[in-house]
Amino acid sequence: MLGKVDGLKCYHGVTRYPAARRVPGLVLFRWDAPLFFANAEVFGQDVREAVAASPTPARRVVVAAEPVTDVDTSAADVLQSLKDDLAAAWVELHFAEVKDPVKDRLKRYGLLELIRPEHFYPTVGAAVDAYVAESGVAWREEDSEPNAGPEGR
C-alpha cells in the first residue's frame, strides 16, 4: 500500500514509511510483478486484504501498475473476479501507470468493457487527484511536497 511521505515526491510504501499519509477512502496498491497464472490469485488476495486493512472504509482501489509488464488469461480471470467482488462491496477498481501493451492485452481479454477506460490514469497522482475531486475528501497532496506548484508534481 502507498501513502504520501512529507517532504518526498510521489507515493511510497507504507511498510517502509509508516508515517505516510493515506487518502481517506482510497487504497493505493502497488504490484511489482507481471500478472500471470503463478501469482494472479495472490494478487487478488493481496488487494482484498489491503481493502480490509484500510484505516478508513475503502471506496476505491487504485492499482499502481507501472511494474506490471504482462497479464495472461489466468490473471484476466482474477481481475474480473476481483472487480466483481469489490463492486459488491461498493469499492471501485481503478488503475494507474498501466503500460500500453498491458492495456492492449486487457482490451483483448474484454476487461476494458468491465473496467471502464476512464478508470485508468497516467500517474498515481492523477488517480489521487481524480478521487479527491469526485469524492470531495479533504486532502491536499501539496501539503506534503516541497515546491508544490505544478512543476513539483
The angle at the Cα of 28, spanning 26 to 58, to the nearest 5 degrees, equals 30
Question: Which residues, in sequence order, are CB contacts of 41 under 8 Å at separation 6+?
Answer: 78
As a whole number of angstroms, the distance between CA 117 and CA 103 comes to 10
Q: What is the pLDDT of residues 27-48, one digit of tens each?
A: 999 999 999 999 999 999 999 9
- What CATH code is assigned to 2-136? 3.30.750.24
E strand residue ranges, the chain: 2-4, 11-13, 26-30, 60-64, 92-96, 120-121
pLDDT at 116: 86
**Whole-model pTM?**
0.87
Q: List the domain boundaries for the chain.
A: 2-136
The angle at the Cα of 51, spanning 42 to 141, to the nearest 5 degrees, equals 115
Q: What is the pLDDT of residues 22-32, one digit of tens each?
A: 999 999 999 99
